[in-house]
Amino acid sequence: MNVRRVLAPNPGPYTGDGTNTYVLDSEGEALIIDPGPNDERHLQAILASVESLAPQMILVTHTHEDHAPAANPLAAMLSVPVAGHGPGREFKPDRILVDNDIVEFGGTTVRAVATPGHSPDHLCFLAESALFTGDHIMGGSSVFVEDMTAYMASLRKVQRLPLDVLYPGHGPAEHDPPAVIAEYIEHRLERERQIVEAVESGRTDVNAIVATVYAQVDSALLPLAAIAVHAHLRKLAVEGVVRVDGDEVTLL
């Protein structure tokens, strides 16, 4: 199996250099993962990348606007089905995938790995010893998380897979998966410790916690930081560490 990356022209504070679209080819057949935004330049670049191949299917890790909207237009151009966890904005799958579902192409097997946390509908895709991680793990940066309890469980789930390489939805490939995943877990645990310490020091308002814990973060990313803090606080509340009443936080 060969892997090609086609970078979407959508750089930004939330997308890095842009969304990574992946073209997997095996025995003359191709599978496309995360065709990205519905941008004509990007669609043409993807089409050029599969010109000598026989595309079989388009897979989508999740339905955020930088990953899924091009799937259905591209599928119509190539006359292939699209598959993902479920429908979303500008995305309608022909096949619904759940954990451990298998997609086959060119003698290669791709397995869906349910990894909720970044979003409820998030899937990774395992092909041989490569994991296509969408926004579950990003090359060289952390991700924003909607459900921290689910996200931590999903990180530990992929930690148990026999992996040689991670292909993220943004950023470069990672060739030491055990170290990267362990770093992601430790990063989240450290953020959790920082949040508890901020509350202990008198920062009992969510905005004050964000300002303290993410003091060194680009201000453009603070809205995502606030989402992460809320996700951490919901997890800590379930664990009986804090009580959250609106934007007010107290230790238990």
214 Cα distance to chain centroid: 21
Closest-CA residue to 99 (of 115, 87, 81): 115
CB contact at 8 A, 133 and 112: no
Residue 66 catalytic? yes
130-134/123-127 β-pairing? antiparallel
82-84/54-59 β-pairing? parallel
What is the rounded distance in angstroms from the CA atom of residue 123 to the CA atom of residue 99?
Answer: 8
Tokens of 115: 């990894």
Closest-CA residue to 32 (of 41, 40, 43): 43
Catalytically annotated residue among 66, 121, 135, 147: 66
For the annotated catalytic residues, the residue numbers are: 66
